[in-house]
Amino acid sequence: MQQQEVIEVKTKTVACDGGGGPLGHPMIYMTFKPGDTEVVCPYCSRTYKLLPGAKDDHH
């Protein structure tokens, strides 16, 4: 089984399109829930990991 990509992010909302091109998927936005440090895209299974000190997008 292939290891899925892990992307470290500094914001609590992330956008994923599967990398675009023929292997992509519709753009979706995911928001980390309080206490969560990872979200996984339901389309492509990319994992987004929240870095310490991440900014809240709703200033």
Q: What is the pLDDT of residues 3-59, one digit of tens each?
A: 678 999 999 999 999 987 777 899 999 999 999 999 999 999 999 999 988 776 654
Using alpha carbons only, how large is the chain's radius of gyration in Å?
Answer: 12
For the domain made up of 6-55, the CATH class stated in words is mainly beta
Q: Give residue 3's pLDDT.
A: 62
Q: Give residue 32's pLDDT.
A: 96
Q: What is the pTM of this model?
A: 0.81
E strands in the chain: 6-11, 13-16, 28-31, 38-40, 47-55
Q: Give residue 53's pLDDT.
A: 82
Mean pLDDT of the chain: 87
- Of the candidates 18, 21, 22, the one whose C-alpha atom is nearest the C-alpha of residue 44 is 18
